[in-house]
Amino acid sequence: MSIIQKLVKVVNAGDANGAKEIIHDDFKFLLHASGKTLSKDDVVKWVGMKDVKLDKERILFENNEVGFMHAIASFKDGNKEAVMSYYKFKDGKIVHQETGATKLQK
- Domain regions of the chain by residue span: 3-104
Q: Which pLDDT belongs to residue 35?
A: 85
CATH architecture designation of domain 3-104:
Roll (3.10)
Q: How far apart are CA 35 and CA 13, in angstroms?
A: 27
The answer to whether the CB of 29 falls within 8 A of the CB of 43 is yes
Q: Which pLDDT belongs to residue 33?
A: 73
* 49-99 per-position pLDDT tens digit: 999 999 999 999 999 999 999 999 999 999 999 999 999 999 999 999 999
Q: Which of 24, 82, 79, 18 is nearest to 51 (CA)?
A: 79
Bridge partners, 83 (sequence order): 71, 101
- Res. 31 pLDDT band, cuts 50 70 90: confident
Q: Which pLDDT belongs to residue 9?
A: 98
- Res. 48 pLDDT band, cuts 50 70 90: very high
Q: Global pTM?
A: 0.93
